[in-house]
Structure 1
Amino acid sequence: MQKLLEGKFGRYILPGIILQSVLIGGGFATGREIVEFGAKFGAMGWMAGIGIFLGFTIASILTFEFARKFKTYNYRHFLKELIGPLWFLFDIIYILLAILIIAIMASATGEILQNTLGLNYWVGVGLIIIIVGLLNFYGKGLIERFKTFGTLSLMLGYILFAILVISTTWDEAVNVLSTGDTSFVGNNVTIGTVLWTGILYVGYNLAVYPATLFSIERQTSRKESVVAGLLAGIFMTVPWFLTYFSLLGHYPNEDVFGASVPWLQMLQGFPAIVIIIFGVVVGWTLVETSSGMIHAFVDRVDGQLKEATDKQLSQTHKGLIAVGALVLALILAQVGIIDLIATGYTAMAYAMIAVFMLPLLTIGVYKIFIKK
């Protein structure tokens, strides 16, 4: 396994796998995210998907190459090199967004595990807290292995769900596209509005990039950064389109498009084993998303502590920080999934674009391609 991670797989594919594994929890797991950031536009929603692919690909290539060139393998060093003394702004936004994403996933997972596996809400959430704490206790090596196998399982799961739904509702989806139906949001939708919605989706998901910086250490050339970035863009967009076309077959059904967890509604009528598998898969997404984002934050705290005192966090401290972040997220989760996604994600998207994407497209491009 170690040989695989250190070879071409680790240089070209692993960064994208880690990005996708962190993204899938806050980006795809419930289906609510795709409703808000694309599918609600019906026949025009695919344009948001194209914008999302371009946005993720550009952000991935620039992030990977910037980290490789300046050897900034944790996000504090990365941001200090990118925006200098203003790096702490990203820190604040990142922590708030990480807790927001985990809150959404915790709320969704508690509901899903209760409805699919019959587990008590707090029993399901408690198990996930313990798993995330253990992953951060044992650190980078275990997280990489967990994500490599986990992401493959997640992708297979989401492909299965999408095939089941799309194969039974394809005629309805084609009808929506052929008639240009945008009725869920009205008939005055503009291309600009749809594209901007895609940009906002990329914006709030920029928070996933710090989680993959530690894997960039293996890259040794610009070619590897570009190829890895392109693959990451594909990995991060394919589940969006699978979910979009699944939702399109139910457009504009209020029972689906108004649900906290649209996937649960779309899978109604399928055998119980499908619902159970979905519950397990979404539970895994929470673990992957939470462990990835918290690992990046713990890594930053560890690096700053080492610089200031020449000491590092113990494995116990890392595990406790992870559990503490999850507890805060659980408190926030009481607000509700729909409001958290619609309002919280949009606000965080603007903030992330301001402190990460715009500097990356300006200062980052200058330092990568022009500055000697």
Structure 2
Amino acid sequence: MSSAISHPSGNPSLFKRVLLAGLVFQSVAIGGAYATGRETVEYAAKFGTLGWMSVLGTFALLAVFAYLVFELCRKFRVFEYRGLLKLLIGPFYWVYDFLYLLLGVTIIGVLISAAGSIMADTLSVPVWITSVGLVAIVAVVLFFGQAVVERFNSTGTVLLTVGYVLFAVLVLTVKGDDLVANFRDSAPPLDPDSTAWSSISSGLIYGSLYLCIFPAAMPVMRFARARKDSFWSAINLGWLIALPLFLTYFAVMAFYPDPAVLDAQIPWLRMLSDYGPWVVIVFGLLVGWTLLATAVGLVQGALNRVSVNLEDFGRKPLTRKGNAVTAAVTLIVAIVISQAGIVDLVAKGYTAGAWGMLIVFGLPLLTRGVWLIVKGAPATGNTGDGGNTGDTASPGAEQTSEGMR
């Protein structure tokens, strides 16, 4: 399961050094984070015109954590999450795997619930058929291996990114005056006791949820050559997440405080319902594909973690058939969890998972991670800020890769 990642020869392009990590990160995050619009309502739009502070809070937290993760990867030549966690929390690195599995099942539960609602509302497909179909498709895609998984995810990412821009333009072209009026009148939060700090802290909590996605982007940092590469990669990652959130936030604010949108399980679907059936059908197909792609990525991450832990106990990793069976079981559990509904899963499950990730991964990054960047000895052959980096890691820093997720 493990394989060495050597330092790339030659001079990697600016795209690989600065842009690629953020794009890989977004490819995993985009379906679960943006597709329904429920997350934007729960963590930003419910604060009215203060909600933009939440999105900025998410951007700031992700940019800071991304810099710490990327710089630790570059400096210590460790490009997979377990090696990094061993640097940060030593023998307790397995707690991250446990949290990832719990959070991953919760996120997949949201995706299943969303996919069922979307297909029922757009194409009148019964929810149970969508759920069974999703289990079958994910298992088949995973059976055929990583290459198919990556193609599946990248296609959905490009399509949904384009779709978000088009959907936002469509909504704001018609409802732009309502958006302007809400900001002109300083539309208050739904909860009158909410403050600016309530909005900012909500964005920080939401940003912490993304800590489970950093393992996907870490291998890309093998292309980094200097500290500035880590910095600009982090900034790029932050805005790639924040921009779609801003687009969704502004679209929701064009309808604020309409309960038909803010209380909907899938606000995007409600916002587009008056623009003709073809828009809703395109949205359903597009987002359904992306939700499926994100589910594939999350299950693949879970399978990687199961295989690696089996190897730790002296067992053989999962076979191709074992991957398919384990994926199906995971998705069935997620289907059961999805019965709680999107609103409760996002409000409670996501928040609990975010706090767990912040404690297990975020706080060590802000403490020992900062100390290692400032005082720690870099990997052998790494000049620290842009010299040639060798392939030999420093003590305690692993050089293996356990997959993209």
Q: Please tell me whether residue 296 in structure 1 is matched to residue 296 in structure 2.
A: no
Q: Which residue of 1 aligns with 2:363?
A: 358
Query: What is the aligned counterpart of 2:327 among 310, 322, 327?
Result: 322
Counterpart check, 1:115 vs 2:105: no
Q: Is the 8 A contact 2:49 2:189 kept in 1?
A: no
The alpha-carbon deviation at position 369 of structure 1 amounts to: 2.8
Q: Give the number of the structure whose alpha-carbon radius of gyration is greater.
A: 2
Map of 2:212 onto structure 1: 207
Contact 2:212 2:357 in 1 (8 A): yes
The residue that corresponds to 2:75 in the other structure is 69
Distance 1:284 1:11 in 2: 29
Alignment-derived partner of residue 26 in structure 2: 20
Q: Give me the CA root mean square deviation.
A: 2.1
Q: Which moved more, 1:336-345 or 1:220-229?
A: 220-229
Q: 1:240 to 1:326 in 2, by over 3 A?
A: same
- Out of 255, 261, 267, the residue aligned to residue 260 of structure 2 is 255
Paired positions, count: 366
CA contact (8 A) 1:17 1:148 kept: no
**In 2, Cα distance between the equivalents of 1:318 and 1:68?**
32
- Alpha-carbon separation, structure 2, partners of 1:12 and 1:254: 41
Quick one: distance in 2 between partners of 1:9 and 1:143?
Answer: 22
Residues 152-183 of structure 1: per-residue CA shift (max 9 Å, x gap): 11100111111111111111111111111115
Query: Are the equivalent residues in 2 in contact too, given 1:110–1:124 (CA < 8 A)?
Result: yes
Determine the C-alpha separation between the residues in 2 that align with 1:14 and 1:127: 32
* Residue 347 of structure 1 pairs with residue 352 of structure 2: yes
Give me the whole-angstrom Cα distance separating, in 1, the residues matched to 2:159 and 2:207: 24
SS in 2 for 1:189: coil
Q: Contact 2:108 / 2:331 at 8 angstroms: preserved in 1?
A: yes
More helix by percentage: 1
After TM superposition, the structure 1 stretch with the greater mean CA deviation from structure 2, 142-151 or 282-291, is 142-151
- Deviation of residue 215 (structure 1)? 3.8
Give the TM-score normalised by the residue count of structure 2: 0.84
Cα offset for 1:230?
1.7
On the 8 A contact 1:106/1:333 being kept in 2, the answer is yes
1:327-338 to 2 correspondences below 5 Å: 327-338=332-343
Q: Confirm or deny: 8 A CA contact 1:211 1:292 kept in the other structure.
A: no
Contact kept in structure 2, 1:98 and 1:293, CA below 8 Å:
yes
Q: Deviations over 1:71-114 (max 9, x none)?
A: 44333333222211222222222111111111011001111011
Give the stretch that moved more between structures: 314-323 or 112-121: 314-323
Of all paired residues, the percent bearing the same amino acid is 38
Query: Which residue does the alignment assign to 2:400?
Result: none
Q: Distance in 2 between matches of 1:317 and 1:152?
A: 30
- Say if 1:117 and 1:73 are closer, same or farther in 2 by CA, change over 3 A: farther
Following superposition of structure 1 onto structure 2, how do residues 161-310 of structure 1 map, counting pairs within 5 Å? Answer: 161-186=167-192, 188-309=193-314
* Residue aligning to 2:396: none
Task: Give the deviation of 1:259 after TM superposition.
Answer: 0.9
| Greater alpha carbon shift after TM alignment, 243-252 vs 209-218 | 209-218
2:89 is the alignment partner of 1:86: no
1:39 counterpart (37, 45, 62): 45
2:151 is aligned with 1:145: yes
Aligned to 2:5: none
CA distance in 1, matches of 2:318, 2:91: 24
| Contact kept? 1:21, 1:288, Cα under 8 Å | no
Residue 27 of structure 1 deviates from its aligned partner by 1.7
Corresponding residue number in structure 1 for 2:399:
none
Q: In 2 relative to 1, CA 293–220 (structure 1 residues): closer, same or farther, beyond 3 Å?
A: farther
